[in-house]
């Protein structure tokens, strides 16, 4: 069955968009008044690497916009079902921040949301690469980029944006994420072929999968993740959601956002900086610059940070790391310490 047929099976009333169906795409753009009625499509292209959704850049005679469609599966792993309504969460996030001038500097403006077709239209931020280059040896993020990133989450976590009672719970997507962050990576029989990623990685993962004390410490972290809390968070604050263009750092892809714990965003961010081997001085800077919201729990931050390191190394959602087995093993051990000691000192070893 083609992806389009599969899509129609789940969502018969919705338009399926891709690079090959430009007439349907044009119709959708007109219907939503996202482009002037006189415009024609000049080109469509993939704007960059994505994970969960179908994303394209469409250029017309007068404009260029980015179109994002969520489908009932994970775009990169079509065998994994995912709630198609996640795009509505992303749309809500962009709508909520659109009244706050601070965010204009960092996020694309929302052009429109087509609920029926699960399509979001965003301002095109132009040619920009995501920051996953940071994992490469000898490449790093400049101080001003790190300052932008930490400034962004500080502002978000301390703002009164959104209203907890009306913001989507994002429960289905959180459950999916919870499974891949807090559960699967630590199951001995999870079926991931880690040796295909790096010979020896499977053996390196076993002591952690067999460590019952470690696992007992991870369960409550997962429970906290699943609950609703006071703070609107981005929910996927890692280099794949950070774009670097001509005018500096931009932040995209808030589909995992929810009212949760600020510690999750900061923990994930620090985990990735550590896996990217960003120097200790810069890590210290980030922790100093971050404006902790009221009730910030450092132990929780350490736990989330440790779990994120582990799940990225021994879980399914792998990244283009430039790390040998020894370095990965050291990171796993560091992550274990973060989770068990609940102190941030291992980050600076
Ligand atoms: N508004 C935008 N302007 C320019 N490029 C974008 C924009 N939104 C996304 N992109 C590019 O498309 C890629 C995939 O988009 P993203 O929102 O991360 O999709 P996914 O949810 O599938 O991960 C990004 O890494 C980026 O390169
Ligand atoms: Mg993405």
Q: What proportion of the chain, given as a percentage, has pLDDT over 90?
A: 93
Which pair of tokens denotes residue 344? 């941030």
Q: Which tens digit of pLDDT belongs to each residue from 98-111?
A: 989 999 999 999 99
Ligand 2 centre distance from Cα of residue 115 (Å): 20
DSSP secondary structure letter of residue 160 = -
Mutate which of 55, 63, 111, 120 for ligand 1? The one with the most ligand atoms within 8 Å of its CB, which is: 55
Ligand 1 centroid to 45 CA: how many Å?
Answer: 12
Instruction: Find the 212 Cα to ligand 2 centroid distance in Å.
Output: 33
| Residue of minimum CA distance from atom 16 in ligand 1 | 50
User: CB under 6 Å to ligand 1: residues?
Assistant: 47-53, 55, 66, 68, 75, 108, 122-125, 128, 130, 243, 252-253, 255
For the CA of 241, the nearest atom of ligand 1: 18
Element spanning 199, H or E: none
Tell me how far the alpha carbon of residue 31 lies from the centroid of ligand 1, in angstroms: 23
Nearest ligand 1 atom to the CA of 245 is 4
Q: Which residues are 233's β-sheet partners?
A: 258
Say if residue 91's pLDDT is above 90. yes
Query: What percent of the chain lies above the pLDDT cut of 70?
Result: 100
**Sequence spans of domains, the chain:** 3-123, 129-348
Q: pLDDT tens digit string along 116-126?
A: 999 999 999 99
Identify the pLDDT of residue 165.
Answer: 87
- Confidence label for 163 from pLDDT (cuts 50, 70 and 90): confident
* Enclosing H/E stretch for 133: none
Q: What is the DSSP string of 33-67?
A: TSS-TT--EEEEE--S--SSSEEEEEEESS-EEEE
For residue 54, give the ligand 1 atom closest to its CA.
22
- The whole-number pLDDT of residue 164 equals 87
Q: Which CATH superfamily is domain 3-123 in?
A: Phosphorylase Kinase; domain 1 (3.30.200.20)
* Mean pLDDT, the chain, whole residue set: 96
Distance 148 CA to ligand 2 centre (A): 19
Cα–chain center distance at 69: 16
Helix (H) or strand (E) holding 121: strand 119-123
The CA–CA distances, whole Å, from 257 to 157, 194, 203, 292 equal 12, 29, 34, 18
Rounded Cα distance between 68 and 323, Å, is 32
Confidence of residue 161 (pLDDT cuts 50, 70, 90): confident
* CA–CA–CA angle 333, 338, 341 (5° rounding): 110
Contacts 24+ apart (CB under 8 A), 209-215: 209/314, 211/336, 213/340, 214/186, 214/336, 214/339, 214/340, 215/186
Q: Which two tokens stand for residue 235?
A: 């929910």
The CATH architecture of the domain made up of 129-348 is Alpha-Beta Complex (3.90)
- pTM of the predicted model, to two decimals? 0.96
* Tens digits of residue pLDDT in 208-253: 999 999 999 999 999 999 999 999 999 999 999 999 988 899 999 9
Q: With contact defined as beta carbons under 8 Å apart, do 344 and 298 qualify?
A: yes
């Amino acid at each position: 069955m083609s992806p389009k047929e599969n899509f129609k099976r789940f969502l018969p009333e919705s338009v399926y968009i891709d690079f090959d169906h430009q007439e349907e795409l044009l119709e959708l753009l007109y219907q939503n008044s996202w482009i002037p009625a006189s415009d024609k499509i000049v080109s469509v292209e993939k704007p960059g690497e994505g994970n969960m959704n179908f994303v394209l850049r469409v250029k017309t005679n007068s404009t260029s916009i980015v179109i994002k469609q969520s489908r009932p599966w994970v775009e990169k792993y079509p065998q994994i079902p995912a709630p198609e309504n996640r795009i509505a969460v992303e749309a809500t996030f962009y709508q909520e921040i659109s009244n706050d001038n601070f965010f204009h500097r960092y996020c694309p403006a929302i052009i429109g949301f087509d609920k029926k077709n699960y399509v979001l239209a965003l301002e095109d931020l132009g040619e920009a690469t995501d920051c996953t280059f940071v994992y490469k040896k000898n490449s790093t993020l400049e101080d001003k980029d790190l300052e932008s990133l930490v400034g962004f989450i500080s502002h978000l976590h301390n703002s009164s944006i959104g209203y907890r009672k009306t913001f989507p719970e994002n429960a289905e997507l959180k459950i999916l994420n919870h499974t891949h962050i807090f559960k699967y990576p630590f199951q001995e029989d999870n079926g991931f072929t880690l040796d295909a990623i790096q010979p020896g990685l499977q053996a390196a993962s076993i002591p952690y999968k067999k460590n019952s004390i470690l696992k007992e410490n991870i369960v409550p972290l997962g429970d906290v993740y699943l609950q609703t809390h006071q703070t609107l968070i981005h929910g996927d604050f890692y280099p794949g959601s950070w774009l670097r263009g001509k005018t500096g750092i931009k932040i995209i892809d808030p589909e995992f956002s929810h009212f949760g714990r600020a510690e999750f965003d900061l923990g994930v961010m620090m985990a990735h900086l550590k896996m990217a081997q960003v120097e200790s001085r810069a890590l210290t800077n980030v922790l100093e610059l971050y404006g902790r919201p009221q009730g910030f729990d450092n132990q929780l931050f350490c736990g989330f940070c440790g779990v994120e390191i582990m799940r990225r190394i021994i879980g399914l959602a792998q990244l283009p790391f430039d790390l040998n087995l020894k370095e990965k093993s050291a990171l796993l051990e560091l992550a274990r310490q973060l989770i068990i000691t609940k102190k941030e000192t291992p980050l600076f070893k």
